[in-house]
A and B are shown apart, each in its own frame.
Chain A
Amino acid sequence: MSALAALILRDIKIALRVGGGALIGVLFFLTVTVLMPFAIGPDLALLTRLGPAILWLGALLASLLTLDRLFTADHEDGSLDLIVMGRAPLELACAAKALAHWLAAGVPLIVATPALGLLLNLDATATAAVALTLLVGTPALTFTGMIGAALAVTLHRGGLLLAVLVLPLSIPVLIFGVAASQAAITGPLSFGTPFSILCALSLVSLVVGPFAAAASLRHGLD
């Protein structure tokens, strides 16, 4: 267990220090959100209506882009081979790496959400709803995206291929994340139903993601 804790600490440190890409994700999130008014016009009422969707799309793309490096950096310096050969089960090691990635790259996105909500003219309830759904939904994005990251490292390909493979898998999370936020703002449905399903999706990906990523690493690395 201490090996896994050490792995989590190490990954967070690497991500936050010079050369790590965690905070670039927040910058990307900010840039995408700032670009939106230029595309759809500075109409505040329209931005309020589209706000949750814009924030969810931005967070989805930001978490996808940072995932590219989840295994690649470790593969380049050889530490991934040590993790694969280590005594801790590879599934748990993958889960630990994803957790560290979510703490370093996912949580800052959620922290940045209130500031970005201000730019999109969202009121306090709406911002809180989006932040809460992101808090519950981004683990699902990280853990399903991890499968794509594991495939990318075994194939020595990343970038666009990873995006094409992972984005269709994240459609359910997007649907229920935006639906729960909209339900909290305008209705007509209750907030609880889509929010519970979003929690369920996160829990499922917490189970499936590490197994699929570990299988892909085991069969793919040589």
Chain B
Amino acid sequence: MTLIDLANPTKFLSLTARVLPWLAGAAAILLLIGFYQAATAPDDYQQGATVKIMFIHVPNAWLSMFVWGVMSVAALGTLVWRHPLADVAAKAAAPIGAAFTFLALVTGSLWGRPMWGTYWEWDARLTSVLILFLMYLGLMALWRAVDDPSRAARAAAVLTLVGALNLPIIKFSVDWWNTLHQPASVMRIGGSSLDRAFLIPLLVMAIGFTLLFVTLHLAAMRNEILRRRVRSLQMMQASQQAA
């Protein structure tokens, strides 16, 4: 089974129909374990119980970038390999990525309230995630602005790749801008400085959320394929009635 076999939407539909329940089950089990471990994890000596927001915040933040990566691969699939399902994958991923980015922003803001005393701080990371969110919304607006899916797909693919090139530059500039304007922020969570009691639930949650994304993404791709079939059937019916 190679990637090109999946180019047939019917094969893709039948394969995903078999895989999806297992994926959803695995995601549910991992998330349940993760939530349980997160709930029973010890409080931080400095941050208290609010440190538990991290277990939801960090996986969302990780996925907000991972989904753009998935869309970039799909964009290459559209422009270079002309894979028929690549634009379906790109279109289905955008709203999910936007949702994860939004959740990362909201949880970050809720975490910031007790830690920094304010819901919003023009902190470098928050600012670059906000810009990422804006770019997701722009991409979704682009998908919605054009009724011809293949035309929208190629435009969105160019924009996704330009965004992928630009995101590191934006991240770097915002970091630079931030150090210019304010001293280093309170938040400091390095992967290595994290205690095992926090690290293991965090990893479980990260894998669980990633599986959740894969499940949602495949389901959204199935919906998109079916939606396109319904649309072409409707068009055929309309043209038959007109004839």
Contacts and interface: CB of A to CB of B under 8 A. Distances in A.
B173 A175 contact: yes
B193 to A, nearest CB: 29
Contact of B162 (A157, A175, A189, A212): A212
A17 interface: no
A48 to B, nearest CB: 19
Given A147-B162, A155-B146, A171-B174, A165 B169 contact: no
Interface string B149-170: 0011011011101110110011
Contact of A171 (B131, B141, B142, B154): B131
Nearest to A208: B165
Interface string A67-88: 0000000000000000000000
B162 A220 contact: no
Nearest to A150: B158
B87 to A, nearest CB: 11
A208 B162 contact: yes
Given A219-B154, A220-B155, A164 B170 contact: no
Contacts of B115: none
A121 interface: no
Given A171-B173, A179-B177, A219-B79, A212 B146 contact: no
Interface string A17-56: 0000000000000000000000000000000000000000
A148 to B, nearest CB: 8
A210 to B, nearest CB: 12
A156 to B, nearest CB: 8
Q: How many B residues touch the partner, as a band? A: 20 to 34
Contacts of A212: 158, 161-162
Contact of A219 (B138, B158, B170, B174): B158
A172 interface: yes
B176 interface: yes
B24 interface: no
Given A168-B135, A219-B79, A151 B170 contact: no
Contacts of B173: 171-172, 175-176, 197
Nearest to A215: B158
A201 interface: yes
Nearest to A188: B180
A196 B99 CA distance: 37
A112 interface: no
Contacts of B174: 171, 175
Contacts of B242: none
A164 B141 contact: yes
Contacts of A220: 151, 154-155
A169 interface: yes
A171 B170 contact: yes
A216 B158 contact: yes
Contact of A147 (B79, B158, B172): B158
Contact of B145 (A147, A155, A201, A216): A155
Contacts of B165: 208
Contacts of B142: 151, 155, 161, 165
A201 B79 CA distance: 25
A151 B176 contact: no
Contact of A179 (B145, B154, B162, B180): B180
B138 A164 contact: yes
A69 B196 CA distance: 57
Given A155-B145, A179-B180, A216-B158, A168 B79 contact: no
A172 B176 CA distance: 10
Given A172-B172, A215-B158, 4 more contacts: A155-B146, A157-B146, A165-B141, A168-B134
18 contacts: A151-B142, A151-B158, A154-B154, A155-B145, A155-B152, A155-B155, A157-B146, A165-B138, A169-B170, A172-B173, A175-B173, A176-B176, A201-B169, A208-B162, A212-B162, A215-B79, A215-B158, A216-B154
